[in-house]
Chains A and B, each alone.
Chain A
């Protein structure tokens, strides 16, 4: 029985240590190698999942007086999300190339973040969930704080305050759960089994607290105010992991929450309404953005709303559809931010009012941007299509015709994105002079993201077959 997760943690920890000890030299090689190794472990776990060649549950004693152990489980959902986080982090890491003088600190932060992502998606108890949640937040805070653009101070502070607030709510909710379960426990499967014994009023409080915490992270209206600044001021690699992976912390938490407490069955219609409002709010807010990154941020908020809608359906397809959407959206938004970052690198701006005719010399980035739009509108053969099909079959069977309302939001976003693309990428009136040439690592990062989108769109059964077992 191979303990995939512990090996992964050790691999990443060694890479972080190597980054700190050896500094800039070989930092890129070591970090990428570490991520690739973990990706290989996870691929192995996908193939060995059915045959039982790997440990599905890994546990080490930790704080026995609280009943807390270092307990991780490999479920189909965690495998999907870990795969996504690895590929997205890999793309973010590859994108920044070899040149920067403090590659090693960026890489160690990215690795730390990836460590927290793996830990969070695989954690079997809320105690570990909480710890990894905060580790991820801190890693991203430092990424924005140290590598961000002009107003990174404000952006990182906003981000941190919101995140700490979310953490406090989460902690409070976890403590409530601990005290109200029959035998105080943090174990998610134990809580799920015994959650009906928690009084309804307490369940509602827990639900509200956790919902707010996760809604801040996803983000969902009206808890999203940290998002535009953080996304636009983070460095490109930071935006990629922030939108691609960190927002999935919230989405994954939401999934756990909805299937943990039975009170969700009475509240899901209201939450669905919030999701729909959030989708339309973000779709309309995206229209007036001048900064491509902010626009991409609001787009990602629309998709977060769709993920939440899938979760609220509380049926099988809604559940796995939203997980697949987390995967698809991770890749799509990563590609979008990478493309925007590359366009900015080539032209020195990402302002829609200035940028013109990017396709004439930044071909790869422009085509990638177009592809990310196709992906986010759910084109078949991209992962987004499989996800949207599953989600909306789920929501339509839960809410009837109301279940397909969010799709109108997709039209709005698509229409606006095409407008932005035709202005900034295609039109060559007052064409801008380029200031940089897109490097090979940047192109490689785009290729990784595109390949992932297509791979999981054309072969969705690779991951979805895990679920059937």
Chain B
């Protein structure tokens, strides 16, 4: 159980900061220091116990033996290092971001536990350890999304996320139950090593349902856009390495099973549908963070497409590079919003170029997401394109990439172009200038990581992905054609965005209502959700009325009994002649009955 030490500092740091005063930044720095310790321990653990697996018995009863199992295989260490690396950035950024003193301890506590659960998830080797982390992620994300509980939309957003995730949790629990009954083990690697049976199909579909709720895939994707109600560091964390990545990671881990069960096409179909929904919504959305949220949906969809194509290495490459640019872009959005007094509409946000360092760092993120050579995003996207053997999948992917290039440049250009009045100019200059250092420098570091992450392309094929691979994956390669098409798409997207949003200064698509409704379909999805919820609620109403009627039926039955008793009581009136008449009538009745 040695790898558990990697989460110890975060848990400890969380509790220490919870019991600190919020007035100074001490809670934040404490959490940051502990997250650095966690990173150090994670690196040590990777070196020390790479390739090891650990298990202890948690409890055993009857035939059921429940282990807690951890492993430090390549895939585990990859995610562990990513999370451990991102956490200090998030903590550092939060120090500057969290300006409500009284809420600081709670914030850093919840954030630390959130990070710790993701680390536990990364190193889990069986369904039990994984499910513990999975649920802790769900609950901490609920607390973090609803962090500003006094705001109007936060309780709603938090409830939406936890309700969606609850569906996934129960699906996962059902899958675990069925898997135990067919394999009598919860261990991932034992399940993958045992011969495939048809009984695996339903549990795998249930796992996919759980993955789709966690990774915000169609039809469970809308919670992610609403999750923007949480503080920005949470969004940056949730969208880059934590929570939503858990779902796709699980698919990557169990990919041999999905392959054998012939379920890859399901993953592919849902992935591509979500990528489309995400990309189109992002182009019509005006909320600075929601654009990025839809972009995350698209990214996750693309990862699933890659996994559905059985291009495991390409998926992992994109998995890595996406982490850094998404974290950077969210932090950038948070800093810009902060300078603009928490304005969220990109048409109201101004002066995004005022802080040079912030702006240049942001450019790296934007370039990466658009797929500009030689940033990380380029390699991730091209590797997946190159693996797309099916021409339709390839065409759809290319289209999604074009759209993503358009929306991210729109995201960049519109706040740049928003006109500034004289007085505002000075105010914004001072706000951008006096921005806390912790809200700018982490971005610069992340921009550097975006560049470095491109080297994962060269390094990833050398990693020993043993323990996960039973079938040959599509090798990681980049075809020249895919690379040139991707570059063309990125540049095309740039030009389209430049023409439409800078030259023509188009502010919206209000004149094309039908097109807008088609592109911005989150309204329709939310409507569908509310229809389902209403149907359940109405059914609840009917059953409740029935319940009430049942109660009154029983009460009336009681009253009726009392009524009959009252009537019968009248007969017993103490008068001898009444009794005599009744006696005579009884005798006559008896005689008649006997003679018949």
CA A370 to CA B202, docked complex, whole Å: 32
Number of chain B residues whose Cβ lies closer than 8 Å to a Cβ of chain A? 49
CB neighbours (8 Å) of A401 from chain B are: 178, 202
Known interface pairs A287-B544, A426-B146. Does A317 touch B177 (Cβ–Cβ under 8 Å)?
A: no
Check: A62 CB closer than 8 A to any chain B CB: no
CB neighbours (8 Å) of B149 from chain A are: 357, 359, 425-428
Check: B155 CB closer than 8 A to any chain A CB: yes
Beta-carbon contact of B150 and A320 below 8 Å: no
CA A403 to CA B541, docked complex, whole Å: 27
Please encode chain A, from 267 to 300, with 1 for each CB lying within 8 Å of some chain B CB and 0 for all others. Answer: 0000000000000010011111100000000000
Question: Among the listed B159, B170, B178, B547, which residue makes an inter-chain contact with A419, where contact means beta carbons less than 8 Å apart?
Answer: B159
Check: A374 CB closer than 8 A to any chain B CB: yes
Please encode chain A, from 387 to 424, with 1 for each CB lying within 8 Å of some chain B CB and 0 for all others. Answer: 01110110011000101100110111011101101110
Nearest A residue to B130 via CB reads: A380
Check: B543 CB closer than 8 A to any chain A CB: yes
CB neighbours (8 Å) of A468 from chain B are: 60-61
Residue of A380, A423, A461, A465 with most chain B CB atoms under a 10 A cut-off: A380
CB neighbours (8 Å) of A403 from chain B are: 177
Known interface pairs A389-B176, A393-B177, A396-B178. Does A317 touch B156 (Cβ–Cβ under 8 Å)?
A: no
Question: Among the listed A317, A359, A377, A389, which residue makes an inter-chain contact with B169, where contact means beta carbons less than 8 Å apart?
Answer: A377
Q: Kindly specify which of B31-39, B160-168, B425-433 makes contact with the partner chain.
A: B160-168
Question: Among the listed B61, B154, B159, which residue makes an inter-chain contact with A320, where contact means beta carbons less than 8 Å apart?
Answer: B61
Beta-carbon contact of A386 and B59 below 8 Å: yes
Check: A222 CB closer than 8 A to any chain B CB: yes
Check: A43 CB closer than 8 A to any chain B CB: no
Beta-carbon contact of B177 and A392 below 8 Å: yes
Check: A172 CB closer than 8 A to any chain B CB: no
Q: Which residues of B from 129 to 184 have beta carbons under 8 Å from A?
A: 131-132, 135-136, 139, 146, 149-150, 152, 154-156, 158-159, 162-163, 166-167, 169-170, 173-174, 176-178, 180-181
Check: A184 CB closer than 8 A to any chain B CB: no
CA A381 to CA B140, docked complex, whole Å: 14
Check: B341 CB closer than 8 A to any chain A CB: no
Distance in Å: Cβ of B137 to nearest Cβ of chain A = 11
Beta-carbon contact of A316 and B63 below 8 Å: yes
Nearest B residue to A157 via CB reads: B558
CA A460 to CA B61, docked complex, whole Å: 10
CB neighbours (8 Å) of A360 from chain B are: 150
Known interface pairs A374-B139, A380-B135. Does A285 touch B540 (Cβ–Cβ under 8 Å)?
A: yes
Beta-carbon contact of B181 and A396 below 8 Å: yes
Distance in Å: Cβ of B138 to nearest Cβ of chain A = 9
CB neighbours (8 Å) of B558 from chain A are: 161
Beta-carbon contact of A411 and B166 below 8 Å: yes
Question: Among the listed A317, A404, A410, which residue makes an inter-chain contact with B62, where contact means beta carbons less than 8 Å apart?
Answer: A317
Check: B537 CB closer than 8 A to any chain A CB: yes
Beta-carbon contact of A381 and B132 below 8 Å: yes
CA A419 to CA B156, docked complex, whole Å: 8
Check: A225 CB closer than 8 A to any chain B CB: yes
Question: Among the listed B59, B541, B554, which residue makes an inter-chain contact with A288, where contact means beta carbons less than 8 Å apart?
Answer: B541
Main secondary structure, interface of A, reads helix
Main secondary structure, interface of B, reads helix
Distance in Å: Cβ of A118 to nearest Cβ of chain B = 24
CB neighbours (8 Å) of B135 from chain A are: 379-380
Distance in Å: Cβ of A81 to nearest Cβ of chain B = 16
Distance in Å: Cβ of A392 to nearest Cβ of chain B = 4
Known interface pairs A284-B543, A422-B146. Does A461 touch B60 (Cβ–Cβ under 8 Å)?
A: yes
Beta-carbon contact of A422 and B132 below 8 Å: no
Nearest B residue to A288 via CB reads: B544
Beta-carbon contact of A284 and B131 below 8 Å: no
Beta-carbon contact of A225 and B554 below 8 Å: yes
CA A439 to CA B128, docked complex, whole Å: 38
Please encode chain A, from 428 to 469, with 1 for each CB lying within 8 Å of some chain B CB and 0 for all others. Answer: 110000000000000000000000000000001100110110
Residue of A286, A393, A425, A464 with most chain B CB atoms under a 10 A cut-off: A393
Beta-carbon contact of A411 and B167 below 8 Å: yes
CA A380 to CA B62, docked complex, whole Å: 20
Beta-carbon contact of A390 and B64 below 8 Å: yes
Beta-carbon contact of A281 and B150 below 8 Å: no
Check: B66 CB closer than 8 A to any chain A CB: yes
Give 15 new A-B contacts, CB below 8 A, not counting A392-B174, A407-B174: A284-B539, A285-B544, A287-B536, A288-B537, A316-B62, A317-B63, A378-B173, A389-B64, A393-B181, A412-B536, A418-B162, A422-B156, A426-B146, A460-B58, A465-B59
30 A-B pairs (CB sep. < 8 Å): A225-B547, A225-B551, A281-B547, A284-B540, A285-B540, A285-B543, A287-B537, A287-B541, A288-B537, A320-B62, A357-B149, A357-B150, A360-B150, A374-B139, A377-B166, A380-B132, A381-B132, A389-B173, A392-B174, A403-B177, A416-B540, A422-B146, A427-B149, A427-B155, A428-B150, A460-B58, A460-B59, A461-B58, A464-B59, A468-B61
Interface residues of B (CB under 8 A from A): 58-64, 66, 128, 131-132, 135-136, 139, 146, 149-150, 152, 154-156, 158-159, 162-163, 166-167, 169-170, 173-174, 176-178, 180-181, 202, 536-537, 539-541, 543-544, 547, 550-551, 554, 558
